[in-house]
Amino acid sequence: MKNVNVLVYPADTEIALEINNALKYNKAVHLSGASPTSQHGRLVYQPFISYVAGPAENTDFLTTFNQLLRQHQIDFIFPGSDDLALYFCEHASELAAEVIGSDLTTTRIARSKRATYDFLAAEPFLPRYYADATTVKQFPVFVKPVIGAGSFGAEVIPDAAALTAKLADGQDYLISEYLPGKEYTIDCFTDRHGVLRFSGCRERCRTRNGITVSTHSQPLPAAVAQIAQRLNQLLHFRGVWFFQVKQNQAGDYRLMEIATRVAGTMCLYRNQGINLPLLSLHDRLGEPITIQQNQFALTVDRALSNKFQLQLDYQTVLVDFDDTITRGQQVNPLMMYLLYQFQNEGKAIILVTRHANDITQTLAQLHIDPNLFQQIHHLTANETKGPLVRQYPDPIFIDDSFGERQNVLAVAGCPVFDTSALEALMHWT
């Protein structure tokens, strides 16, 4: 793969975070992020190159955005939202970089659930849907915004009165039959020749705020594989896309929606070997596509994670050994991650310990290279660490012991960190 410059916009969404995880370690991809807001993207994208107000707020968006693309010699744009996927498609000929996505007609159909259902009205896998409340014959029904994402605004409506109340908020809704069965997402990849190269099924076990937070891979049912092939035949997908189905009372699969973008939980198949954003780049570069999938079942469970932006300048890291670099009789892997980060940043790492045994021998037993440390201080039982820490320029001190931290804080006056506070020092990029 040749070297390419890729920009993700907006960089703050779950979509953008998955694109970052999919591409950030590829040596041929120089990945950048930009956003209209100062949110999570600036903490994970390195570089995060600019804040650019979106087209809804900025009438001069194309001019500003193209200046950014040219300044950073961007080759490809990955949309980080449904709205921007459509906008970039609509303005593809005016942009100074190539958009990763499907064609305009397909993207427009996918963006509107009514347009999707109208286009596929003759297909047997479509659920019953209704033009308006007066045509509903059976309750409960399922109501969802015509333009939306995930399950935001979606609701099961039990009766006519509740439907009238729901529709009274003025939003444009699609009314369809209620599907009581299990729900599945099918992650797909179509190459530049229009061939569907991959379809991977995962059950949506738990969602929160419209986002799948627990899902597991499973074999692709034959009926769902047929739906994937039919969608690929009727529409003009390119690269990564996905669709969702749900089972009706009889167990038949019915289409919920389609999307022409990356999904946040595509991390599941990425960890089975199917990196869909990266495959999309290979396809755009005209390179041969090979699907390489590990054959094991996989479950992903997602939760909020913490990313910190620490406003602290330091040159020297003084770190304890027992119960800090170690945890029980083993190495603390999180601490080792951090030590190698310090080394990459050019920080001086000083080991300060009262270890009961020969520290060099213990390091060897744990396969820790002593050359990781600029110096090793093996203190006696009566020596305190504060005076030693004070000798070093711009130090920080890491130790699991409150008493040791208190001594260093009082004597050296530098920032001190418990092992429970390592996250604040980490760069998750």
The whole-angstrom separation of Cα 30 and Cα 8 is: 11
Closest CA to 178 of 134, 211, 130: 130
Helix (H) or strand (E) segment spanning residue 85: helix 82-90
The answer, yes or no, to whether the previous bond of 47 is cis (omega within 30 of 0) is: yes
Buried b (16+ CB within 10 A) or exposed e, 270-296: bebebbbbbbbbbbbeeeeeeeeeeee
The whole-angstrom separation of Cα 107 and Cα 99 is: 12
Backbone angles phi, psi at 67, to 5 degrees: -60, -40
Two tokens, residue 371: 């050359």
Instruction: Check residue 150 and give its pLDDT.
Output: 67
Beta-sheet pairing, 29-35 with 48-51: parallel
Domains and CATH numbers, the chain: 4-100 (3.40.50.720), 128-177 (no CATH), 181-301 (3.30.470.20), 316-425 (3.40.50.1000)
Whether 424 and 417 have beta carbons less than 8 Å apart is answered as yes
Those residues whose C-beta lies under 8 Å from the C-beta of residue 119, and which sit 6 or more positions away, are: 109, 234
Torsion sign across C-alpha atoms 198, 199, 200, 205: positive
Instruction: Check residue 102 and give its pLDDT.
Output: 98
The whole-angstrom separation of Cα 159 and Cα 181 is: 20
Secondary structure of residue 121 in the 3-state scheme: coil
Give residue-wise pLDDT tens across range 211-229: 778 889 999 999 999 999 9
Whether 65 and 49 have beta carbons less than 8 Å apart is answered as no
Two tokens, residue 147: 């333009």
- pTM to 2 decimal places: 0.89
The answer, yes or no, to whether the previous bond of 127 is cis (omega within 30 of 0) is: no
Closest CA to 17 of 237, 305, 300: 305
Secondary structure of residue 309 in the 3-state scheme: coil
Whether 200 and 279 have beta carbons less than 8 Å apart is answered as no
Helix (H) or strand (E) segment spanning residue 318: strand 316-319
Residues of the chain with pLDDT under 50: none
The whole-angstrom separation of Cα 302 and Cα 17 is: 13
Closest CA to 278 of 54, 113, 130, 76: 76
Whether 77 and 95 have beta carbons less than 8 Å apart is answered as yes
Instruction: Check residue 400 and give its pLDDT.
Output: 96
Two tokens, residue 356: 């009961």
CA atoms within a 13 Å half-sphere pointing along the CA-CB vector of 39: 12
The region that residue 230 occupies, defined by phi over 0 for left and psi between -120 and 50 for alpha, beta otherwise, is alpha
The whole-angstrom separation of Cα 114 and Cα 120 is: 10
